[in-house]
Amino acid sequence: MNDMSRMELEPSSAGLRKGDEVRVMAGRDKGKTGRVLSIDPRTRRVTVEHANIIKRHTRADSSKNIKGGVVEREGPMAISNVMLVCPACAKHARTGRKLMPDGTKVRVCRRCGTTLEK
């Protein structure tokens, strides 16, 4: 993927929010689940706990008190590679929107219909 094609995408979080439990549907960590650590709707990338671990080799910098070595951390991946795990039916599901009687919109699991607001 190059930067041009990324810039043409409409910002979208695909119905996901920070803290949601998601399942990785594609790629190296397919099948793993974890919580959403961060979402970037502009680039449509998401960082998921324990998934897509990348190793960063850092150089020691004593003035900044940084030790050299290998740091492991989660790397961002495409939002389209993950799906929400519904807390009610425990399956990965698409999210929908439902209008409540008081006019607020809530997220719902499209599989079981449970409201996903906390």
d(CA 37, CA 56): 18
Least spacing, CB of residue 17 vs Zn ion, in Å: 16
Using CB under 5 A as the binding rule, whether residue 71 contacts Zn ion is answered as no
Nearer to Zn ion, 35 or 110 (CB): 110
Using CB under 5 A as the binding rule, whether residue 110 contacts Zn ion is answered as no
Count other C-beta atoms under 10 Å from residue 42's C-beta: 13
Count other C-beta atoms under 10 Å from residue 44's C-beta: 19
Least spacing, CB of residue 87 vs Zn ion, in Å: 8
Chain centroid, CA 15 distance in Å: 10
Per-residue contact flags (x/-) with Zn ion for residues 78 to 97, judged by CB under 5 A: --------x-xx--------
Q: Give how many residues touch Zn ion by CB under 5 A.
A: 7
The region of 25-33, 50-58, 66-74, 109-117 touching Zn ion under the rule CB under 5 A is: 109-117
d(CA 92, CA 85): 4
Classified as helix, coil or strand, 93 is strand
The region of 1-9, 43-51, 60-68, 107-115 touching Zn ion under the rule CB under 5 A is: 107-115
d(CA 96, CA 14): 10
Interface residues with Zn ion (CB under 5 A) are: 86, 88-89, 109, 111-112, 114
